[in-house]
Amino acid sequence: MIVDTLKPPYYAVIFTTILNDNLEDYLETAKRIEALAKEQKGFLGIESARNTIGITVSYWQTLADITHWKNNIEHTEARNLGREKWYKQYQLRICKVEREYGFKQ
């Protein structure tokens, strides 16, 4: 769902991916890592969509929170598996959210 309760400034990690054909264990691991992310200090929310490519944007209070999550052991293991098995390509961007506008019917 859409995250619509945050007030800038905060940080966004834009993770854009193209998956391989063989996705053994991928969904299970992705769910586990998302659940683990939600328990981390500074986690603010997550948005995801996929068709040809996948885009997952996670939101964080500070850069230090993002670094802390990057260094989490289980997250690191999953990232290594991802490069070995699941991802054909990815791009990860760390951004500072400066302004935000929302609309709801």
Q: Which of 53, 44, 57, 43 is CA-nearest to residue 14?
A: 57
We find the least distance from the C-beta atom of residue 41 to a copy of itself, in angstroms, to be 20
Residue 55 three-state SS: strand
Residues that bind a copy of itself (CB under 8 A): 1-4, 8, 12, 14, 16-18, 20, 47-55, 57, 63, 83, 87-105
Closer residue to a copy of itself in complex, CB, 1/73: 1
We find the least distance from the C-beta atom of residue 64 to a copy of itself, in angstroms, to be 13
Helices (H), 18-86: 26-38, 63-70, 73-81
